Amino acid sequence: MKLTGALLLFSVALFVSSSSAFQSDELIVDDEQFDSGEVVSSLSPSISSSSRSPPKPVRKTSAEPDSDSRVQFALEHAFGDSDGFTVAGTFTARIKSHGGKRTLTKIRFSRNDLSTLEKEKFKKLLEDDEFYRIRVPSNVLNAPGKAYVISSVKARCLPNDGLDEHFIIHMEGVHILAVNYGSLRACQYNRPLRLPSKWTFNSHTVLKYSEYAPRTPIFSEHIIAGDMGDDEGVKPLERSFFAKYWMYLMPIVVIVFNAFTQSANMVDEQVAAPPQQAVRAVPHGQNGAVRRR
Amino acid sequence: MLPTELCCVMGYLSFITTKSKQFQAIRRSPLSILITTKSATDLEKPRSNSIAMAMAIKLSLLLLVFSCSLIPTFSLFEDQVGFMDWHQRYIGKVKDAVFHTQKAGRKRVVVSTEENVIASLDLRRGEIFWRHVLGANDVVDKIDIALGKYVITLSSEGSILRAWNLPDGQMVWESSLSGSKSSKAFLTIPANLKLDLDSPIFVYGGTCLYAISSIDGEILWKKDFIPEGIDVHQLILSEGSNVIHATGVSDSSEFNTYEIDVKNGAVLNHAKTSFPRGIFGEILQISSDKSVALDSSQSTLVLISIINKQIHLQETHVSNLIHGVSSNTIILPSKLSGIFSLSTDTFIAFIKLTDEGKLHVMEKFDKKVVVSDALPLSENEQAFALVEHGDSNIHLSVRLVHDMSSNHLKETVKMDHERGFVEKIFINNYVRTDRSHGFRALIVMEDHSLLLLQQGEIVWSRDDGLASIIDVTTSELPVEKIGVSVAKVEDSLFEWLKGHMLKLKGTLMLATPDEITAIQKIRLQSSQKSKMTRDHNGFRRLLIVLTKSGKLFALHSGDGHIVWSTLLQSLRQSPQCPNPTALKLHPWQIPHHHALDHNPSVLVVGRCGLSLSSPSTLTIIDAYTGNAVRNVGPTHSTVQVLSLPFSDSEEQQLHLLIDDEKRAHLYPRSREAVEIFEKESQNVYWYSVEADVGILKGYGVKNRCDGDEFCFEARNLWSVVFPSESEKIISTVTRKGNEVVHTQAKVIADEDVMYKYISKNILFVATVSPKASGPIGSTTPDESVLVVHLVDTVTGRILHRMTHLGSQGPVHAVLSENWVVYHYFNLRAHRYEMSVIEIYDQSRAENKDVLKLIVGKHNLTTPVSSYSRPEVSTKSQSYFFTHSVKAISVTSTAKGITSKHLLIGTIGDQVLALDKRFVDPRRSLNPTQAEKEEGLLPLTDTLPIIPQSYVTHAFKVEGLRGIETIPAKLESTTLVFTYGVDLFFTRLAPSRTYDSLTEDFNYALLLLTIVALVVAIFVTWVLSERKDLQEKWR
């Protein structure tokens, strides 16, 4: 008995755990779906663009015939505060015009390999628990636009096996609002010092456009009535009347019922009254006798 | 036998409570208290959440929901008004005053103020007869009285003229004067001019001169000065003539004088003289045909006289007139006939115009002199008042205009040092009992207070500085001292008993009407309320408010009386600090452990000047006495004040002041503070909002500045750049720093748990398309887009971004726990809307697994880092809301258990409490049974406005600007302080007072009942004994 109970519990627990694991998996997918808004390459291209090779000119923008629909912009990085920004890689994306509004899709990222100096600098950052900073232009067509969009992360958050990085680029047309930059994993507080085994970046890039707010539900009584049908619109009202006033109705019913039975009794009494008068006097007398005693 | 009796008592208790307030039996059931205390202890380790706790919370929530019943309201009984709330009415700093004392039963003075209030005050007591707040954009230019029964106000740069009935303040008529260009505004009401039974009012505004009927406000005629390109500086209407003189300056620096017929506005004569240098400031009229002005270099006086319809100019160099004169000469606007006053850097000189047309200096005073306008006493006698400052008193003298040496009246009035200098004076005369002239003076002080002086005494005073509150904070009151004399206790015990006996009578409906009023009086004036010591429930507090005048007031929360007030020396005008403005008020020292060693104190930050880069001053004020403990400055500039969550050994809160060069200055400036700060400096982040360029920037601490160990350089860690062609920042809101969140988990209907994303670093940013930043109606729905963002201020990550198409500001928002509610206008629906966004943490969503929790494989106890990738999900919903809104706030309680209410300052200057459950994004059209149990309401498109849920009930907080909520010590209760031109304070219990008996609970009745029952027990016991005995004897 106990054993089966335990088994049951275990299986339930298993189910719960597996379902929750599944759920979290699905959420990432979900995330990315509404992240990308339209057809946006999210995880797959970035995985392909892991960057061991030198800055390979993936597709030369100028050489291509549809160069007007392609755009490139640089990612720059800095090690610490005193260091200036240097080019770290290139984002390539396709511009899609949609009703006069231009948006970016199919973003790809190719990162330059870290030089020995940069590796040293990065190591220093890891040792000091300092910030690794990146920046991108705020306007991809007319870089840098109004200002650079800067983002930074504690360097110790990045190393895993290699160096994990995850970009969520918030866009408004061809403008970059902000970059959420960090690793894919959680970054535990009390960041322990951990050096990566490989000094290569494993990059993931997601483009994100604004969501649209759900519309305010507009409905008035007649719409509901129309949906549900007229007769149904009335019914709940009647029911609610009874539901509301049953306590008042009950006594009335009781009184009416009482009155009814009483009047019926009265009729009975009236019919049987004259002969009973003599009989009645006797018990009275008897009672009185009992009391007196 | 006894238990049954006890039960009886309990039953009776619940009966009483039910009777005194509805549904209290449920609230006070021991179960609910048990559960709430359980969850309160859980607060100590908030990260150790478990399902079990979640269940407990759910239970307690359910209970709360149950006890709240369906529609929670704050409806008060009529006799409860004023019991725990108070309301104070103010008018603001007076800028103009007109007396109405002749032939009037009630002597009154009509004033206009800088808060755009016009009010009629009782001259005997200073009370408000009536008052109108015209609104922030309707600045009052001029006021006057016409026909002896109408108050005429000219406002909005001379474009709106209104007449108010003098006795009751009803509006009689209103005329809109549409000028073509903004200009100065003048109002002239001739005393004895009649035009066909009508008395015209002459108004100049928007470069047009109007004659307006004072009976119905109709425009009789209009003369536009735009074609001539002339800006009129003054209107002169000589007594008894039918010609109005308008003197103005044209763009090409010419003096122009027009003679205009008062009947039809026809120009009778036009004269002009060129004056290439141009004039500075105003032209001041000194007699019927002479005026005086300063040239643009402020060094030459120009006397303008009109002789035979020609303008004659006569120039006099100021230095010839007054020797050793310095710069910054201005003509004071006091209207005195025949003389005028000239103010320089160092002194004020009175200059007389002799009959020969010569200027002659009559008298020189040092700078601290204030002069009133001239007051006609008789046909050719005019008097004016002059106030000089002494050490702790002021000298008021009334002199005749023609004879400066005459001192008609000389009085010395003792003046409170905390009121500062006199800024304005208005005088009025009356006939004394000995038929001589008596004078009363209305003076406006530096702290914006208004006083009436008469016979050398202050007849009344009004603290109208409280109408312009900038910032509010609170402080605990001192702990009660032990050792009260016995006599006092006895006296109070007797009073206590008497009061309760009266209440008992009231409850049993035996009280006479007199006694009922006595009961009401006892309730309202209970000494408990305004005691100067801390109370157990934390209802009594000091509200410390910083006003625009630089005066700090401490108000008692019990009845709103002023405990102390102090005019901050650091915020007074001085050579080091020419234009001081008060900025911020922060709690500085909040003693807990050493409550007896130190008094709590507050930090006041001010700025010396109008630009952001001007130096700032810091003052630390003792919250019990109002004395300045320390004064710093003027020192570096201050753009932002951050209160850090660290305190030193003296429990002084660490503060960072960010200057305009993004350097952080640490206060208090002590070694210890630096040590504490440096330990934590890696985790200190802040952000700046540059609304004009549309950039948010985040900063961290870099290193020390050179040469200053309390100064730290900042480094820019992130930036969010809004494209200027599509987004413009209009509103940013953060969570309140002292907010307490009780639980991270939210149990939803299907036994599921959702984890709130609770971060102190969320910033709500609302942007609109640049075209939509104007007023509502200035753009089409297609062009206006409202975008809201939730930004993490440590990493600069955008957590959520949502677009509302066809919507525009103004946006008012409140952020609390894991939700934000904001209010905006939907152009497509032509209605205001309120939207809610709730943000949930998905990274903790797996912690629903019981097994994991048992084994300990959950991440609930690990510290959260902002650098982890945020896995959040949001829910949002929009609802229509009828009102436009002036401010939104949310109730806050000590432990955050009690459900929340939104406090909405409506356009009608009232505060509406709206249950947060109405703006739940999870509301659905047909909630399931489980959802209904959870307390989810069926979806509606509009948020309900329940009249009983106005917390301000019958009052209005005119010119409402802010709503401040302060948690009381009692979990169920929150204190609400609303300020604007008026002040309003009340106590709210969003889920009703489930943790205490109401204050009007009748203890005497309970005691009496118990006694009566005990007596009854003994009597029946004796009787039954006796009966038993008799039975046995039979």
Q: What is the pLDDT of residue B47?
A: 37
Q: What is the rounded average pLDDT of the residues B188-197?
A: 76
A 196-255 residues with CB below 8 A of B? 208, 210-220
Dump pLDDT digits (tens) for A29-60: 333 333 333 333 333 333 334 333 333 333 33
pLDDT surpasses 80 at A283: no
Answer whether B796 sits within 8 Å of A212, measured CB to CB. no
The answer to whether the CB of B471 falls within 8 A of the CB of B962 is: no
Q: What is the rounded average pLDDT of the residues B641-654?
A: 88
When CB atoms are compared, the residue of B702, B871, B878 closest to A213 is: B878
Of the listed ranges A72-81, B496-505, B589-598, B667-676, the least confidently predicted one is B589-598
Q: What is the pLDDT of residue B345?
A: 74
Distance from CA of A105 to the nearest CA of B (A): 19
Q: What percent of chain B has pLDDT over 70?
A: 87
Closest residue, chain A, to B925 (C-alpha): A217
pLDDT surpasses 50 at B337: yes
Name the residue among B196, B154, B149 with its Cα closest to residue B177.
B154
Q: What is the pLDDT of residue B389?
A: 84
pLDDT surpasses 70 at B20: no
Q: What is the rounded average pLDDT of the residues B422-443?
A: 88
Q: What is the pLDDT of residue B61?
A: 47
Q: What is the pLDDT of residue B526?
A: 64
Integer Rg of chain B from CA: 34
Q: What is the rounded average pLDDT of the residues B290-305?
A: 81
Q: What is the pLDDT of residue B546?
A: 94
For residue B591, give the H/E element and its range. none
Higher-scoring residue by pLDDT: A269, B669: B669
Per-residue CA distances from B912 to B85, B905, B953, B985 (Å): 15, 6, 9, 14
Residue of A134, A180, A220 to mutate when probing chain B, most B C-beta within 10 A: A180
Q: What is the rounded average pLDDT of the residues B147-153?
A: 88
Dump pLDDT digits (tens) for A147-172: 899 999 888 888 888 888 889 999 88
How sure is the predictor about A269, in pLDDT bands with cuts at 50, 70 and 90?
Answer: low
Q: What is the rounded average pLDDT of the residues B100-122?
A: 86
Q: What is the pLDDT of residue B104?
A: 64
The answer to whether the CB of B191 falls within 8 A of the CB of B175 is: no
A 165-184 residues with CB below 8 A of B? 166, 168, 170, 172-173, 175-178, 180-184
Q: Does B682 touch chain A (CB under 8 A)?
A: yes
Dump pLDDT digits (tens) for B656-712: 999 998 899 998 899 999 999 998 888 899 999 999 899 999 999 988 888 888 899
Q: Which of B63-67, B461-465, B844-848 has the highest mean pLDDT?
A: B461-465
Closest residue, chain A, to B724 (C-alpha): A146
Q: What is the pLDDT of residue B858?
A: 62
The sheet carrying B279-285 orders its strands as B279-285, B290-295, B300-307, B310-317
* Cα separation, B123 vs B462, whole angstroms: 12
DSSP string, A87-118: EEEEEEEEEEEETTEEEEEEEEEEEPPPPHHH
Q: What percent of chain B has pLDDT over 90?
A: 30
DSSP string, B268-326: EEEEEEE-TT-EEEEEEE-SSSEEEEEETTSSEEEEEEEETTEEEEEEEEHHHHSTT--
Residue type present at position A169: I
Q: What is the pLDDT of residue B651?
A: 85
Q: What is the rounded average pLDDT of the residues A112-127?
A: 87
Give the count of Cβ contacts less than 8 A between chain A and B: 171
Of the listed ranges A202-211, A274-283, B242-251, the least confidently predicted one is A274-283
pLDDT surpasses 50 at A236: no
Q: What percent of chain A has pLDDT over 90?
A: 4
Q: What is the rounded average pLDDT of the residues B575-594?
A: 84
Q: What is the pLDDT of residue B301?
A: 83
Average per-residue pLDDT in chain B? 82
pLDDT surpasses 60 at B421: yes
Q: Which of A69-83, A157-171, B326-340, B722-736 has the highest mean pLDDT?
A: B722-736
How sure is the predictor about A222, in pLDDT bands with cuts at 50, 70 and 90?
Answer: very low
**B632, two tokens:** 């710093």
How sure is the predictor about B1027, in pLDDT bands with cuts at 50, 70 and 90?
Answer: very high
Q: Which residues in chain B are contacts of A138 at CB distance < 8 A?
A: 721, 723
Q: What is the pLDDT of residue B855?
A: 67
Whether a cis peptide bond, with omega within 30° of 0, leads into A159 is no
Q: Which residues in chain A are contacts of B846 at CB distance < 8 A?
A: 20-21, 23-24
pLDDT surpasses 60 at A273: no
Q: What is the pLDDT of residue B227?
A: 78
Helices (H), B194-281: none
How sure is the predictor about A224, in pLDDT bands with cuts at 50, 70 and 90?
Answer: very low
Q: What is the pLDDT of residue B733?
A: 94
pLDDT surpasses 90 at B120: yes
When CB atoms are compared, the residue of B805, B849, B925 closest to A13 is: B849
Answer whether B846 sits within 8 Å of A31, measured CB to CB. no
* Cα separation, A41 vs A60, whole angstroms: 19
- For residue B716, the cross-strand partners are B699
Q: Which residues in chain A are contacts of B795 at CB distance < 8 A?
A: 151-153, 180, 182
How sure is the predictor about B853, in pLDDT bands with cuts at 50, 70 and 90?
Answer: low
Answer whether A23 sits within 8 Å of B845, measured CB to CB. yes
Q: Which residues of B315-343 are buried (b: 16+ CB within 10 A; e: fewer)?
A: eeebeeebeebeeebebbebebbebbbbb
Residue of B699, B703, B713, B720 to mutate when probing chain A, most A C-beta within 10 A: B720
pLDDT surpasses 80 at B862: no
Q: Does A82 touch chain B (CB under 8 A)?
A: no
Q: What is the pLDDT of residue B996?
A: 78
Of the listed ranges A41-45, B172-176, B756-760, the least confidently predicted one is A41-45
The sheet carrying B339-343 orders its strands as B330-331, B339-343, B347-353, B359-366
Higher-scoring residue by pLDDT: A95, B380: A95
Of the listed ranges B108-112, B246-250, B550-554, B966-970, the least confidently predicted one is B246-250
* Cα separation, A33 vs A39, whole angstroms: 9
* Cα separation, B1002 vs B992, whole angstroms: 19
Closest residue, chain A, to B863 (C-alpha): A189
Higher-scoring residue by pLDDT: B353, B613: B613
Write down the residue that tokens 């009012």 correspond to: B201
Q: What is the rounded average pLDDT of the residues B881-893?
A: 92
Of the listed ranges A283-287, B27-31, B95-99, B531-535, the least confidently predicted one is B27-31
The answer to whether the CB of B715 falls within 8 A of the CB of A81 is: yes
Q: What is the rounded average pLDDT of the residues B331-350?
A: 78
Q: What is the pLDDT of residue A11?
A: 46
pLDDT surpasses 80 at B325: no
Per-residue CA distances from B862 to A91, B700, B859 (Å): 36, 24, 5
pLDDT surpasses 90 at A191: no
Q: What is the pLDDT of residue A223?
A: 42
Q: What is the pLDDT of residue B754?
A: 86
Name the residue among B389, B357, B370, B511 with its Cα closest to residue B441.
B370
Q: What is the pLDDT of residue A246?
A: 79
Q: What is the rounded average pLDDT of the residues B504-528?
A: 74
How sure is the predictor about B5, in pLDDT bands with cuts at 50, 70 and 90?
Answer: very low
Q: What is the pLDDT of residue B393?
A: 86
**B50, two tokens:** 């478990």
Q: What is the pLDDT of residue B482?
A: 60
Q: What is the rounded average pLDDT of the residues B269-286?
A: 80
Q: What is the pLDDT of residue B964?
A: 93
Residue B906's SS3 state is strand
Closest residue, chain A, to B847 (C-alpha): A20
Q: Which residues in chain A are contacts of B797 at CB distance < 8 A?
A: 151, 168, 178, 180-182
Side-chain half-sphere CA neighbours of B118 within 13 A:
26
Burial class (CB in 10 A: 0-12, 13-18, 19+), A191: middle
- Give the length of chain B: 1034
pLDDT surpasses 60 at B359: yes
Of the listed ranges B511-525, B901-915, B1011-1025, the least confidently predicted one is B511-525
Answer whether A175 sits within 8 Å of B845, measured CB to CB. no
What is the ipTM metric for this complex?
0.76
Name the residue among B343, B340, B339 with its Cα closest to residue B325.
B343
Burial class (CB in 10 A: 0-12, 13-18, 19+), B602: buried
pLDDT surpasses 80 at B838: yes
Strand B330-331 versus strand B339-343 pairing type: antiparallel
Whether a cis peptide bond, with omega within 30° of 0, leads into B634 is yes
Q: Which of A76-85, B274-283, B725-734 has the highest mean pLDDT?
A: B725-734
For residue B642, give the H/E element and its range. strand B640-647
Q: Which of B102-106, B369-373, B619-623 has the highest mean pLDDT?
A: B619-623
